[in-house]
């Protein structure tokens, strides 16, 4: 692939991910990875999602700082940090095709879950041990894919917390996992010069997409647009899984 086309695809994916995250409040990594995984290695994808995720979600956590509950967050944050190195090790030996398929499955599952909104019995009495286990699983997924916010978001919903309380949990937990991933990836030399140059090249698209998404957030019907976004995520997941299914059959 020519350098110009490669960079254009990278920047477009970064813009689209930031735009969707600005409008819907989630899914930067899901959208960006659907394109990035066709042109970058899984390690580069995870590294860039972590770095950009710290910027996008870090700002949201700063705005929520007065609503944070340390006792509720602690088990999830500690569990997440335990899971991160396991996920990064998984990332190192899992083949790129399998990683693309795994991301596709996550996209499909998350989209269907969010669209159907199954009414599960709230696990209000699950307790810190279950929160810690959910944190470990979140750290593994975050370390292996860079998608640190998916499992915390679902877990906060399953726990039955009100919407505002959920947001004050899954966003800081995601940021903590992003930070842990960045430390581990940097310590293993995963953040190389090529990744740094891509990170810098994508920053303008990141800021532009976030700005535009936030601008549109207040102008569009949230429920309808959310369904459109989730539909696009579902299509992206199918596109990632389909090549592997063709090879299988």
CA 147 from chain centre, in angstroms, equals 3
Domain extent listing, the chain:
3-248
> Taking the alpha carbons of 230, 35, 236, 103 in that order, is the dihedral positive or negative?
negative
248 pLDDT higher than 60: no
**What is residue 159's predicted lDDT score, i.e. its pLDDT?**
87
Rounded CA-CA distance 27/17 in Å is 7
The pTM (predicted TM-score) of the whole model is 0.76
Q: Is 119 left (phi over 0), alpha (psi -120 to 50) or beta?
A: beta
The answer to whether 59 and 183 are in contact (CB under 8 A) is no
> 29-33, 64-68, 190-194, 203-207 — which is least confidently predicted?
190-194
Residue 249 confidence (pLDDT) above 60: no
Does 173 score more than 90 pLDDT?
Answer: yes
pLDDT at 136: 96
Quick one: what percent of the chain has pLDDT higher than 70? 89
| 95 compared with 111, residue with greater pLDDT | 111
- Return the minimum-mean-pLDDT range out of 136-150, 187-201, 202-216: 187-201
**What local confidence, expressed as pLDDT, does residue 184 receive?**
86
Confidence band, pLDDT 50/70/90 cuts, at residue 138: very high
Cα 122 from Cα 111, distance rounded (Å): 20
pLDDT of residue 58: 83
Supply 69's token pair.
């509950």
Please, what is the average pLDDT of the chain?
83
Tell me the C-alpha distance between 54 and 228, whole Å.
25
Residue 153 has pLDDT above 70, yes or no: yes
């Amino acid at each position: 692939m020519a350098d110009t086309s490669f960079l254009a695809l990278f920047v477009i994916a970064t813009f689209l991910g930031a735009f969707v995250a600005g409008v819907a409040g989630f899914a930067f990594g899901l959208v960006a990875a659907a394109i990035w995984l066709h042109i970058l290695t899984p390690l580069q994808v995870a590294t860039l999602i972590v770095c950009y995720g710290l910027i996008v979600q870090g700002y949201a956590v700063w705005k929520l700082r007065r609503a944070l509950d340390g006792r509720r967050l602690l088990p999830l944050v500690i569990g997440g940090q335990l899971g991160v190195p396991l996920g990064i090790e998984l990332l190192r030996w899992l083949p790129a095709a399998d990683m693309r398929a795994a991301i596709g499955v996550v996209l499909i599952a998350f989209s269907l879950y969010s669209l159907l909104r199954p009414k599960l019995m709230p696990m209000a009495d699950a307790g810190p041990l279950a929160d810690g286990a959910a944190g470990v699983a979140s750290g593994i997924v975050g370390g292996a894919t860079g998608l640190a916010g998916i499992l915390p978001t679902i877990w906060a919903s399953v726990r039955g917390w009100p919407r505002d309380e959920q947001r004050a949990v899954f966003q800081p937990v995601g940021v903590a996992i992003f930070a842990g991933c960045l430390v581990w990836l940097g310590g293993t030399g995963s953040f190389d010069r090529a990744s740094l140059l891509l990170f810098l090249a994508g920053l303008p698209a990141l800021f532009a997409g976030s700005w535009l998404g936030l601008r549109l957030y207040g102008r569009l019907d949230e429920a309808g647009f959310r369904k459109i976004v989730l539909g696009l995520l579902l299509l992206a997941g199918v596109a990632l899984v389909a090549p592997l299914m063709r090879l299988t059959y």
